Amino acid sequence: MDDDLKQSIAVLERTPHVLRSMLSGLDREWTHTNYGEDTFSPFDVVGHLITGEKTDWIARARIILECGPARPFDSYDRYAQFEASRGKTLEQLLSEFELARTQSLRHLREMNLTPQDMLKKGTHPILGEVTLAQLLATWVVHDLNHIAQIAKCMATQYVDAVGPWKEYLGVLKSPVTRMSAEGAARRKTTGRQ
């Protein structure tokens, strides 16, 4: 196994534990509140990560290895969590994500990827040609992006409470990542704001 892949797995296998440490047992005000109009709550993020485990990373890696660029990836539903998470608790989602990630990493290891495999190409429906190495690097950064998003969401709950220190707290100043109109509409149809 390539050293870069080992480094990626080292991060990917920690994400479920990081999320459980950050979120498990907290009140809903921390876990179900977003950080602005049309933004994800921590609960939404965990559901989104589960969708990725089921339909994105490993599925797309297999397409690259089996079909190359001839078969484009299936479109990824960035908002499937609004329907899929309905009626579930955050604890259920954290457990579901942990199990799904464990399975994904088992499948990744079973692929026995070589440096040559990492150069193989696939076709993203929007971005065009991508390599397996880029896909796997994006998986890692996607995790880190959403951990940062959860931290920002939680920090925003104290935006007024910190008073003048807001000036020194970059997490409170960084731009907000908003959902598309489709995502905002789908959230509303599930009865969650």
Neighbours of 17 (CB within 10 A): 12
pLDDT in tens, 133-168: 999 999 999 999 999 999 999 999 999 999 999 999
**What integer pLDDT is reported at residue 61 of this predicted model?**
97
* Mean pLDDT, residues 35-41: 87
On the question of pLDDT at 87 being above 60, the answer is: yes
DSSP 8-state secondary structure symbol assigned to residue 162: T
Answer with the residue of higher pLDDT: 174 or 98.
98
Beta bridge partners of 123: 72, 129
Q: Give the pLDDT of residue 27.
A: 96
Residue 38 scores a pLDDT above 60: yes
**Whole-number average pLDDT of the chain:** 92
Task: Please report the DSSP string for 78-133 in residue order.
Answer: TTTHHHHTTT--HHHHHHHHHHHHHHHHHHHHHT---HHHHT-EEEETTTEEEEHH
pLDDT at 1 over 70: no
pTM: 0.90
For 102-107, what is the mean pLDDT? Answer: 98
Asked: is 3-189 a CATH 1.10.10.10 domain? The reply is no
Find, among 42, 45, 49, the residue nearest to 25 by Cα.
Answer: 42
Dist. CA 114–CA 63, nearest whole Å: 16
Residue 175 has pLDDT above 80, yes or no: no
Predicted confidence at residue 2, as pLDDT, reads 64
Pairing of strands 121-124, 128-131: antiparallel
pLDDT for res 191: 64
Does 16 have pLDDT greater than 90?
Answer: yes
| Of the candidates 148, 145, 55, 67, the residue with the CA atom closest to the CA atom of residue 104 | 55
